[in-house]
Amino acid sequence: MNISYEGDKSKMLLEQIPILIVEALKFIFPAYCANAAPVIFGGGTPLDLDTKFLDGQPVFGRNKTFRGFFAGLILGSLVGIVEHTVFQQYPIFYGFFLALGALTGDLAGSFIKRRIGLSPGAPLPIIDQVDFVFGAFLFAFLFAFPSWEIFLAVLLLTLPIHFLTNVFAYILGMKDKPW
């Protein structure tokens, strides 16, 4: 059988896609868990303590709570510890910083939404789906530089995963809206 170099190259690339997907999911999983935890464990006192910003709107809104934030930080950290133990790929504290970055990115997204006049729970396409990913990557850069392929794979995977998990949470009655 005679296979050209280009055929071999494209076959090799196709074989690497599943590996890239697995590596991207391993990398971002603590952030995914941190981002989901407030939906499950949140409620209680708002992080901004109902403080209003200069524009008269809440700093973050009633859905960003201490309990949700710390639940996300703890869950993301625990997932990072498990991944460190199983894969020995990232430092043991990596999950903590990915979780902290994800939660901070989500807070930044909420801050932006309040500044443009959107109420808590109102959709802001793209920002709602990837604010936590950008926060996680920003904090990850303190310790490692994931490849651009990992970054791109995480972004592309996050859009449908975020959509499906939100719809699932809505069906289960954990969220008021499916976004």
* pLDDT at position 6: 55
Residue 135, pLDDT > 70, answer: yes
Distance of alpha carbon 59 from alpha carbon 53, whole angstroms = 5
String of DSSP letters for 19-59 = HHHHHHHHHHHHHHHHHHHHHHH--SSBTTTT-B-TTSSBS
83-114 burial, b at 16+ Cβ within 10 Å, e below that, comes to bbeeeeebeeebbbbbbbbbbbbbbbbbbebb
Mean pLDDT (whole number) for 7-22: 83
Using a pLDDT cut of 90, give the percent of the chain over it: 80
- pLDDT over 90 at 8, yes or no: no
Report the predicted TM-score, pTM, of the whole model to 2 decimal places. 0.89
Residue 101 has pLDDT above 90, yes or no: yes
Task: Give me the mean pLDDT over the 46-61 stretch.
Answer: 94
Lowest mean pLDDT among 8-12, 36-40, 84-88, 131-135: 8-12
Q: Could you report the per-residue pLDDT of 123-134, keeping only the tens digit for each?
A: 999 999 999 999
Domain boundaries, the chain: 27-171
**Binning pLDDT at 50, 70 and 90, where does residue 1 land?**
very low
